[in-house]
Structure 1
Amino acid sequence: MEVFFSVLSLIPIVLLLLVSLVKGVKVGIYSGFAVTIVLFFIWDSQLITFPAALIAAFINTISILMIVFGALLLHQNMEHVGFINQIKNSLTNTHKEKKFQFYFLAFFLTAFFESVSGFGTPGAIVPLLLISLGFSPITSIVVVLLIDGLFAITGAIGTPVIAGFESTLDLTDYQIRRIYIYASCFMVISGSIILFFIEQILNKQGYKKDFHGWKLFFCIAIPFVSLSFFLKELTGIVASALMGVFAYFFLFTNRKLAWKPWLPYMVLIIFLLLPKVVPPLKTIVSLSLPFDNILNSSVSAAFQPFRSPLFPFIFASICAALLGKSSKTNLKPVVKKIVTIFIILFPSLAITQLMLSSGSQMPSMISSMSTLFTKTGAAYPVLSPFIGVVGTFITGSTTVSNIIFSSVQYNAAENLSLSKEIVLAMQLNGASLGNAICLFNIIAAAAVAGVGKYVSILHKTILPILIATLVTSLLGMLLLVIF
């Protein structure tokens, strides 16, 4: 019976993915939502838990919509005062090849914003800049999501490891450092696979003879691997900054940039970084409005308004308005997009919450799924990074994927006498890669860019991620044999 329910727990995930690929993301989400509701009550769940789970999902939906609102507001103000066009002209002068401009923005800004803030920030900002250069919206979103899937291992200054591993497992500092170095090695290998696919996408659009992205990729990958053991959670910020400096001095053909249109983004970066380094602000950001035992159930949630990049986005938007000497802001199109996103985002988050909250006397769907994974025995290392991918696909977060599955991975490694650090690094790498196929990220990035073809994005990201994850499995198994 236990095995039966473990297999049954996979149905919402399999259905969500397959239907999304065949019939479209909206159909997939609503189908998955309907099936999850049925399974929720089969799972011996209490009736009061159902509305409580939906309330928790609503709270989480608001948190994501805050990011989208802020990103849309900033871009609208930047466009209104002419800064987007000025940035386009500024970038055009940095290098004669358009493909270089594309890769520089995609790698530098995606890695930097992910390392500083996480929380879906790169997908809300970078595609819009790439689109302004004349690249197609879908290509821009796909590339940013794929690159974001590489650098989320140090997202939000190490939150996936700090909250996902350090807070849940009894690990030493040396073990944490080893996890980072292994994960960074996995990142370089999986990044090479992903870059191959990105090259194919750009080649089909007529950029075969232009600049190749390998130069910029290794400009960031080499310092990332070299420094990860020593810098841990700061690795992504430092590596992306070093890549930016190197590109500026050695790859730019014209270093005379117009800095004024970039100032709102600099303000955004400052306000994103300040809470990480100023203790009083760190305390404010960590403030949480708890919703414990919603409707007297076992379901709880928390709303952290200051952790979201919404307020940095607002400050950057004000900066853009002041610099552009404009006092007009049209919120109507922004609000309209937010309502459209909510209709599809809420049920997708509800699936996750219902799976986590299911069961009263028996384990939840997520716990049952974990039990199934641990029964694979010697084949477990092959599944390890895929578990991380599934966790992020379900929850929309590298950190939450680590929180849910870190103990499963740790215990499996211990029972199978495998290196815990390598197995956890495989979990971290898989959870990071999962950002590229996570429906929450796809919906948010597409909505900000004004794209409704969610399934087109998923079609283009899923194969690179599956192959990169498989390669991580094989490399991980090799390392497990050696170490």
Structure 2
Amino acid sequence: MLWWLEALLAASPILLILVAMVVFKRSATTAGAFGLLLTLALTLLHFGFPSLASAPLTYGLVGSLAEATFTAGTILWIILGALCIHRLQMQTGAIETLRDQLGRLTDDPRLLAILIAWFFALFLEGAAGFGTPVALAAPFLVGFGFKPVQAVTITLLGHAVGVSFGAVGTPVLVQIAASGFSGLDIARVTSDVHALVGGAMLALVLWRVHRRGPPHDAHPVSRRALLGWFLLAATGFLVPMWLIAHVIGPELPTMAGAVVGGAGFIAALKLSGRRLPPTSPATTDDEPQTSPALPLGRALSPYLVVIALVLLTRLIGPLESLLRSVAVSWQLFENFEGRFEPLFHPGTLLILGFLIGARLQRTSAREAGRAALGALKMVAPVTLALVAMLSISRLMVHAEMIDALAEAAARTGAAWPLFAPVVGTLGTFVTGSATASNILFTDFQLATAERLGLDPLRLIGAQGVGAAVGNTIAPHNIIAGCATVGIATHEGEVLRRTLGACALYLLLGGLLVLYLSG
């Protein structure tokens, strides 16, 4: 079969999902169901499972579905933990306290978006990754009066720049294993791109918030002042991120960059001389009734516990090894497998943050149970959507549809550096993980570089950049984000808002990689 026809067939499930969600405004569950039916048909009628040789097709179908269901369970564990914390914060009045304290710094929603969707989300990405930033930051924004769709959108955009280095450098570690380059070398070429074009993502966050306009009773900064705050926030993260990546390596650029930049931004807000009165709480009809506001320390306790647990488990080597030694793993038909590390998983840390935070906030067992029950009710509707999307992902990988798409992309020749980040994004769109995308396509980027006589290190960096920005449009991430703010049928609306931003970043990043490769 002609290569372009093979690629078109392989891309058709992705195109169907995009059209269903973006054009026809269908939910992820509906779009996923149609996409899964098409993927099954293509697998059975054309692609098959080449890695299974002469084994029955049913082996591949069962194995792919098993992987999808298992992975969905690990993602739902994160969503549940984040929802438990969110419901607890609403019930105890903690959100009111935090709104009041941040409101004393600023009540301009654009500056609040910088604090939460940029610095806070980037810190969580660098510390925990794997869906934690959106799961925690989006509900936090909703508590400050942001619309749920807007909260999910700007959090997806805001944390994307840091995904290349993910949870303490995890996405780069798999590239090191595949390529033989050092972590420092890969961190340098990846950070070069983000440092120069990463500010575009923050600009898109502010544009999304600015379109809504500040509340009528807010004290917004002027456009000139906002430009200054934007430059401070962009350089406050991107410069430390770039320096750490160039001097230390891939483990700390995102987390440390967010800490340095966030601390500087808060200090600047305090020194700006703007003293604002406490803000009034924002609630919605479907949120639980709140108790009187808590002291600041107790209001922050669930988040502080999560951050402390993340740092302890990610930065103390012996403890990390001990926790990761406890694992649930399985293998089926030699080609299908799954692994879950319950003590190391971000979902477990979120659950612990909920339980310990409830204790520190002096919440009764009955009230904590009510928060957990409310979270469970919110998790149930997203399960089918996750399983459908993940089933498509695993079928496309094992049926080698992804390989067909990548092979077609490599035919662009000398212009390949312009398109190299797109492959990384494709991998994340399908798998929902920048790390998984790098596992899938780092070898392909290296082979393409050798075939076309290009700098392999630059293409590995481009792969990491594309894999990171792919988080903004990956259906798995959007489903999880929407679930945590109670809008389980609005995934298409979020995707429409992030798709253009993703395309713009890929264009800017691709042009820069093409220039640097010249």
Deviation (angstroms), 1:190: 3.4
d(CA) in 2 for partners of 1:455, 1:96:
30
TM-score normalised by L of structure 2 = 0.86
d(CA) in 1 for partners of 2:447, 2:103:
52
Q: Which residue of 2 aligns with 1:13?
A: 14
- Secondary structure at 1:204's aligned position in 2? helix
Pairwise mapping of residues 134-173 of structure 1 onto structure 2 (< 5 A)?
A: 134-163=145-174, 165-171=175-181, 173=182
Aligned AA for 1:94? Answer: L
Q: Which residue of 1 aligns with 2:34?
A: 31
- Secondary structure at 1:300's aligned position in 2? strand
Within the candidate set 235, 238, 245, 1:218 is matched to 235
Aligned AA for 1:5? Answer: E
Q: CA RMSD in A?
A: 2.0
- Secondary structure at 1:157's aligned position in 2? coil
Please list the CA deviations of residues 94-119 of structure 1 after superposition, one character each: whole Å capped at 9, or x if unmatched.
Answer: 23544322311221111100001101
Within the candidate set 184, 189, 206, 1:182 is matched to 189
Within the candidate set 381, 392, 398, 2:434 is matched to 398
Deviation (angstroms), 1:209: 4.6
d(CA) in 2 for partners of 1:190, 1:395:
25
Structure 1, unmatched stretches of 5+, are 359-363
Residue 203, structure 1, aligned to residue 244, structure 2: no
Contact 1:437 1:458 in 2 (8 A): yes
d(CA) in 1 for partners of 2:253, 2:334:
41
Deviation (angstroms), 1:337: 1.7
Contact 2:29 2:384 in 1 (8 A): no
Contact 1:190 1:469 in 2 (8 A): no
Pairwise mapping of residues 40-79 of structure 1 onto structure 2 (< 5 A)?
A: 40-42=43-45, 43-45=47-49, 46-79=57-90
Within the candidate set 303, 307, 319, 1:281 is matched to 319
Residue 94, structure 1, aligned to residue 105, structure 2: yes
Q: Which residue of 2 aligns with 1:267?
A: 305
Deviation (angstroms), 1:297: 5.7
Q: How many residues align?
A: 470
d(CA) in 2 for partners of 1:199, 1:80:
30
- Secondary structure at 1:290's aligned position in 2? strand
Please list the CA deviations of residues 431-465 of structure 1 after superposition, one character each: whole Å capped at 9, or x if unmatched.
Answer: 00000111111110111011231111111111011
Q: Which residue of 2 aligns with 1:361?
A: none
Aligned AA for 1:39? Answer: L
Q: Which residue of 2 aligns with 1:236?
A: 254
Q: Which residue of 1 aligns with 2:338?
A: 301
d(CA) in 2 for partners of 1:276, 1:332:
30
Q: How much identity, in percent, do the aligned residues show?
A: 25
Pairwise mapping of residues 424-435 of structure 1 onto structure 2 (< 5 A)?
A: 424-435=460-471
Contact 1:195 1:214 in 2 (8 A): no
Please list the CA deviations of residues 50-71 of structure 1 after superposition, one character each: whole Å capped at 9, or x if unmatched.
Answer: 1121111100000100000100
d(CA) in 2 for partners of 1:301, 1:101:
39
Q: Which residue of 1 aligns with 2:394?
A: 353
Deviates most, 202-211 or 14-23: 202-211
- Secondary structure at 2:339's aligned position in 1? strand
- Secondary structure at 1:301's aligned position in 2? strand
Deviates most, 98-107 or 139-148: 98-107
Deviation (angstroms), 1:381: 1.5
Q: Which residue of 2 aligns with 1:369?
A: 405
Deviation (angstroms), 1:185: 2.7
Aligned AA for 1:191? Answer: G
d(CA) in 2 for partners of 1:386, 1:104:
29
Contact 1:284 1:306 in 2 (8 A): no
Contact 1:49 1:297 in 2 (8 A): no
Aligned AA for 1:291? Answer: W
d(CA) in 2 for partners of 1:469, 1:101:
27
d(CA) in 1 for partners of 2:323, 2:479:
26
Deviation (angstroms), 1:47: 2.0
TM-score normalised by L of structure 1 = 0.92
d(CA) in 1 for partners of 2:413, 2:14:
22
Deviation (angstroms), 1:146: 0.5
Deviation (angstroms), 1:2: 6.1
Aligned AA for 1:222? Answer: V
Q: Which residue of 1 aligns with 2:286?
A: none
Deviation (angstroms), 1:197: 2.5
d(CA) in 2 for partners of 1:236, 1:195:
15
Deviation (angstroms), 1:182: 2.6
Structure 2, unmatched stretches of 5+, are 50-56, 215-219, 279-294
Please list the CA deviations of residues 304-337 of structure 1 after superposition, one character each: whole Å capped at 9, or x if unmatched.
Answer: 3233212211221122212221122213322222
Contact 2:77 2:348 in 1 (8 A): no
Q: Which residue of 1 aligns with 2:282?
A: none
d(CA) in 2 for partners of 1:273, 1:97:
31
- Secondary structure at 2:329's aligned position in 1? strand
d(CA) in 1 for partners of 2:39, 2:197:
32
